[in-house]
């Protein structure tokens, strides 16, 4: 596991974007595993900037996102499809028909999850998976549990996650209680994993993830077992190391 120390969020975003840029240059038809949340916003801004300068070409790339709120249509400004379109896809030359996100509107959870696992499989797996880190150690929407999850599944969000994500909604009551997420096993099958962690409020969970016991109660702790993980964290997130 490589840990890169960034000065601040801006530096973190540039370092992480550089790793994604290298991936796309070396393998133009990369399958990128992408994430939402506030952590990757700066990374997407950098990638857009380099695309606009002509340094990056996404025309052959595909993307598979980690998760989506259950019940939100793509045009809802809090849906992860809306997030990805407005913060990234609308500004680069990726073929939108090859950008995959679970279908939040499908009420049949089994169907959605099966279909999403088929998509992941038919893409041949993720080359580089970008991850943020939840305050309780969640990755995607894989919340603390008694066992590590395998494929895509529907989760009940914990109160910690609802509380953390309510800042994007007009009230806590508006935060969906369920979401579809790629499973831990699928995440672990990515060839490379890039985790970005910013802010003092993530320092204690980051320490547990990297050096604590591997337990499904801290889902990201399983990353200790992955052969190719890069962490890019800012100084604030590394204060407990
Ligand atoms: C959400 C997302 C995760 C994300 C996490 C952290 O719950 N489902 O994929 O990593 O929040 O978000 P942030 O980067 O805003 O702290």
Q: List, for residues 7-50, the tens digit of each pLDDT value.
A: 999 999 999 999 999 999 999 999 999 999 999 999 999 999 99
Question: In this structure, what are the phi and psi dihedrals at residue 180, rounded to the nearest 5 degrees?
Answer: -100, 135
- Nearest CA, atom 6, ligand 1: 134
Give the dihedral sign, CA 213/219/223/229: negative
Question: What's the pLDDT score for residue 18?
Answer: 98
Question: What's the pLDDT score for residue 211?
Answer: 97
Atom of ligand 1 nearest to the CA of 140: 9
Give the residue extent of every domain in the chain. Answer: 2-234
Pocket-testing residue among 36, 139, 180, ligand 1, by greatest number of atoms within 8 A of Cβ: 36
Question: What's the pLDDT score for residue 65?
Answer: 98
Question: What's the pLDDT score for residue 52?
Answer: 98
Structure-token match 């066992």, residue found: 147
Q: What separation in angstroms does the CA of 73 have from each of 106, 161, 173, 179?
A: 9, 20, 17, 12
The catalytic position among 65, 67, 68, 127 is: 67
Query: Contact at 8 Å (CB) between 36 and 83?
Result: yes
Please compute, for residue 59, the number of CA atoms within 13 A of its CA located in the half-sphere on the CB side.
3
- Ligand 1 pocket member 137 (CB < 6 A): no
- How buried is residue 65: exposed, middle or buried, by Cβ count under 10 Å (0-12/13-18/19+)? buried
Query: Contact at 8 Å (CB) between 166 and 55?
Result: no
- Ligand 1 pocket member 134 (CB < 6 A): yes
Q: Which pair of tokens denotes residue 233?
A: 């964290």
Question: What's the pLDDT score for residue 14?
Answer: 98
- Nearest CA, atom 12, ligand 1: 37
| Closest to 128 measured CA to CA, from 76, 178, 180, 58 | 58
**Span 2-234 CATH architecture:** 3-Layer(aba) Sandwich (3.40)
Give me ligand 1 centre to Cα 38, in Å.
7
- Ligand 1 pocket member 67 (CB < 6 A): yes
Active site residue 138: yes
Active site residue 136: yes
Question: What's the pLDDT score for residue 222?
Answer: 98
Written as tens digits, the pLDDT of the chain (241 aa) is: 999 999 999 999 999 999 999 999 999 999 999 999 999 999 999 999 999 999 999 999 999 999 999 999 999 999 999 999 999 999 999 999 999 999 999 999 999 999 999 999 999 999 999 999 999 999 999 999 999 999 999 999 999 899 999 999 999 999 999 999 999 999 999 999 999 999 999 999 999 999 999 999 999 999 999 999 999 999 999 999 9
């Amino acid at each position: 596991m490589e840990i890169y120390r960034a000065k601040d969020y801006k530096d973190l975003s540039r370092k992480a974007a550089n790793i994604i840029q290298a991936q796309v240059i070396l393998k133009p038809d990369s399958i990128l595993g992408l994430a939402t949340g506030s952590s990757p916003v700066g990374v997407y801004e950098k990638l857009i900037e380099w695309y606009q300068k002509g340094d990056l070409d996404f025309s052959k790339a595909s993307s598979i996102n980690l998760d989506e709120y259950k019940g939100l249509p793509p045009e809802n400004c809090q849906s992860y499809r809306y997030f990805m379109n407005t913060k990234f896809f609308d500004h680069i030359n990726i073929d939108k028909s090859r950008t995959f996100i679970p279908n939040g509107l499908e009420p049949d959870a089994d169907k959605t999850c099966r279909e999403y696992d088929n998509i992941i499989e038919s893409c041949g797996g993720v080359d580089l998976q970008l991850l943020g880190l939840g305050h309780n150690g969640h990755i995607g929407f894989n919340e603390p549990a008694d066992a590590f999850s395998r494929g895509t599944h529907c989760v009940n969000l914990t109160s910690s996650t609802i509380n953390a994500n309510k800042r994007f909604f007009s009230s806590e009551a508006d935060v969906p209680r369920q979401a579809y997420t790629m499973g831990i096993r699928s995440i672990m099958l990515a060839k490379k994993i890039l985790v970005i962690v910013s802010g003092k409020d993530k320092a204690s969970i980051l320490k547990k993830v990297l050096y604590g016991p591997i337990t499904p109660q801290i889902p990201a702790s399983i990353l200790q077992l992955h052969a190719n993980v890069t962490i890019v964290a800012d100084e604030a997130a590394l204060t407990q190391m």
